[in-house]
Structure 1
Amino acid sequence: MAITAKDVQALREMTGVGMMDCKKALTEAEGNMDKAVELLRERGLAASQKKAGRIAAEGMAYAAVVDGVGVVVEVNAETDFVGKNEKFVDFVKGVAAVVAKVQPADLEALMAADFGNGRTVQEEQQEMVLVIGENIKVRRFAFYVDGVSVPYIHAGGKIGVLVNLDTDLAPEQVAEVGKDMAMQIAALNPRFLDKSEVDDATLEEEKKILLVQMENDPKMAAKPDKVKQGIVTGKLRKFYEENCLLQQEFVKDNSMSVEQYVAKVAKEQGGSIKLKAAVRFEKGEGIEKKQENFAEEIAKQLAK
């Protein structure tokens, strides 16, 4: 019986196993789908289907400049140990290279792109699941084509930051200031890059909270509204300093703000430097991690 590409694809979708292994199993099973699934299970390959449902909140956040394109990606695995696995790290770097080359519109487009070895990113991800033995998932990415991008990886992939600058200076002239900003973003995770980005709704909410706090303070409640508004304005300045990167105190030199530091470097280098954008990925951010109860796990094993 002739094995069609459609048959192979159907088996892949059922089991999550790589294309060549599916084709081989179907050939041996003479086209019988159930028998092919059984063969893959006997070989331990179809286990990847089960692994796909397990929580992957570890892994690696990675940032780099590839062929002039700034890229930051997050790829998840189940354990921190796998995040340091050489094959896994190579896969993450490979994904970043695909992003730089293809510049996909979304995650779906990225997963369908050629990984560079005859397989798509999706197929390569499935191969990694089989080779490494854990659920692995490309989660998100971002890239910048224009300007000068400066990457920074914190703690071996716990956090990946990509800073994008608009400058008339050479990349090597702005590498240090870019890295300094990226390190500050990694450490303090500011909500905004600049105070101009703070929307009216956020400001109104902050003002409301500050006014309520004053109303609840006996010493402040009796003060005239004009005085209260002045205090609110002062406190909003503090809000900017705490939540906006450029207005934050520069961690490496607290005598100046990040904005002042950037201006100082630009003047010294004889050019202009403007922060256009930045992305910060922290591995597992927002993913609910499974809480293991080892006593309960042992009890389940003994009950079998």
Structure 2
Amino acid sequence: MDLPASYYGELDQKNPVIVCFKRDIRSFTAFMKQSSSQDNTSYAKGIQMLMEIWRKYNHRLPSSFYWEHMLQVADFLFGLKLYQLALWQGYGHHLLQFSTVMITDITDISHFMASFFPGGFNDDQATMNLKIRSMQGCALCIFEEEKKLHTLSQRGLNKLLLVLNFIRIMMQAFQKHKDLYNYIYDGSAHIYNICRYLMTMKCGAQALEYLLWASISLERSIALIGAKYLPLSVTLYCAVCHCYYDNHGGPQAEEFARRALRKIHEIAKREEQKKEPATKDIQRVFKEASVKLGAMIFKRAVFESRRRRPNSMLRRTLKD
């Protein structure tokens, strides 16, 4: 009979169940490090080892303790680029405790809350962190699986757009809760990384709305307005401008860049009003932000001049 860890006393490093649990995890990670990602036999054995760990310890350890360690295993698999294994045996497996709905099937905030937070955001902090970590892990695994194919099919594009939509819905759900601002930041960073890939695959038109959403979401979160978070905001602003330029939207790109530059100046003024003088690092952050957005504005002039150049050259030729 498999007795719970609590039967043996304190849940510390000397508890025999915890000792065996960590030993089995070390054995699994050591095995996977030595295995080739192309070796189907090793891959199958890895799945068996994970299932055996789940069977032996899931019911014997406190849920938060068990899943904290299993999500560390999922992070380890993600690092080995074993995205399917990390998804189905790690992040996705954890979410199955709460809902059978896939993140790519979530349609709106109500659906999101009913699936993963039916009682609202009243979970204890550890449980909530694990849920969100699993959601983000699922999204990134799906993204990386598509990315490693080196080509983007229409089916793959649709899947990534569903992932982006899920991240946006998740951020919308968090926006009314000031203490969840760090997840707004993480979501914006994930949106940028996925959209940057879409832009390289000439899908900037589809990426634009999500980049706009992410950049404005950072602006609306008071806790994220400051020099510390400015680099991501500027990166998103510039990405939006690039999308406009790539889709022949020079005027929109310049207008958005000027708007973004005004936002940067507003943040800089707030920093000046603080009692502590701005450090050299903070000054550098604002200077770099202004230079990058200034370049986006200047690009419009270059963009338009290149469009006009053939006609002017033709007129000179006719005069000659």
The structure with more helix, counted as a fraction of residues: 2
- TM-score by structure 2 length? 0.26
- TM-score by structure 1 length? 0.27
The structure with more strand, counted as a fraction of residues: 1
